[in-house]
Amino acid sequence: MKVRKAVIPAAGLGTRFLPATKATPKEMLPVIDTPAIQLVVEEAVAAGLTDILIVTGRNKRSIEDHFDRAVELEVFLEEKGKSDELKLVRGLSEMADIHYIRQGEALGLGHAVSMAEMHVGGEPFAVLLGDDLIHPSMPLLSEMLRAYEVHGGSVIAGMEVPHEDIGFYGCITPEPVDEHLAKVLSVVEKPDPAEAPSDLAAIGRYVFTPRIFDALRQIKPGKGGELQLTDAINLLTQEQTVYAYRFDHGRFDVGNKLDYLKATVEMAIERDDVGPAFRRYLAQVVARLDEA
């Protein structure tokens, strides 16, 4: 069955970006002038997934407002003859069929994904985490969907990380299939680097068969009472083949301040409107630092 739907968990508190996220959802923090969650939605749409469920939480209403019509703003832009801006604003409400469900308690990523079961309706589906931005030039999700169509099993994104950093991720034990694909033998959540079975980290893109919901019902809460998605993936590997799709560039962890800055700089220098002037400015900054 072809994958048609995407799920975007967006209920986290964003504590790594306090105080900015005290009153603003972390998913609405802009990369230049575009909220991070819009970039994630655009990625799903580019891969052909236009039925999208966003799992939200309290104080996340601005996400819904962002993708909704803004009639007063549209009228203002039309009266001022700002046709480009009007097209941009209207496009937000037309890019996809977006639905919302609220996660009442912060019970972990596994719990957030489980809330999508009724919407998914027994179909395979993709999960995209808003903390992980993938550069538009990297067709990661499209390649994962193609791998699912060819092999039929769930697919998770995998990226080699420095050995000392593997403890921040779910760590995959892989069995190579080809250049980009490996069978997932197990996934360990945030292992001690000294005990990690590999440096292949699970990154926030997944394509699941609906069997993941059975696995989510079987797992027990872990640290902090949270349901870990990696625990459910481990159970799933015992019932059907799960694959890891390897990629090696184009990912930014925008929950991390340094990666957030990297994403902003790299995407800014590529833009026609601000790129040339921004590149000149960066060159001036580097020259000034070299002289200091």
Structural domains in the chain (count): 2
pLDDT for position 64: 94
Give residue-wise pLDDT tens across range 202-246.
999 999 999 999 999 999 987 778 899 999 999 999 999 999 999
pLDDT for position 13: 82
Residues 276 and 179 in one domain: no
> Nearest Cα to 52, choosing from 128, 147, 145?
128
Give residue-wise pLDDT tens across range 171-184.
999 999 998 999 99
Strands 181-189 and 242-246 come out as antiparallel
Is 27 a residue whose pLDDT tops 80?
yes
Mean pLDDT of all residues in 190-200: 92
Residues 165 and 224 in one domain: yes
Residues 22 and 152 in one domain: yes
Residues 244 and 269 in one domain: no
Percent of the chain having pLDDT more than 70?
Answer: 100
E strand map for 11-165: 30-31, 34-35, 51-56, 97-102, 125-128, 132-134, 154-160
Domain of residue 291: give its range. 259-292
Residues 161 and 289 in one domain: no
Residues 243 and 275 in one domain: no
Residues 285 and 203 in one domain: no
> Nearest Cα to 147, choosing from 137, 159, 157?
157
Strands 242-246 and 97-102 come out as unpaired
pTM of the complete model: 0.94
Is 131 a residue whose pLDDT tops 90?
no
Is 42 a residue whose pLDDT tops 80?
yes
Q: Is the distance from CB of 55 to CB of 116 less than 8 angstroms?
A: yes
Give residue-wise pLDDT tens across range 10-19.
988 888 899 9
Range 46-60 burial, b when 16+ CB lie within 10 A, else e: ebebebbbbbbbeeb
Distances, alpha carbon 209 to alpha carbons 90, 107, 137, 143, in Å: 34, 22, 26, 16
Residues 179 and 291 in one domain: no
CATH number at residue 64: 3.90.550.10
Residues 91 and 209 in one domain: yes
Calculate helix-pair angle for 257-269, 275-291, nearest 10 degrees. Answer: 120
Range 78-104 burial, b when 16+ CB lie within 10 A, else e: eeeeeeeebeebbebeebbebebbebe
Residues 102 and 204 in one domain: yes
Residues 167 and 274 in one domain: no
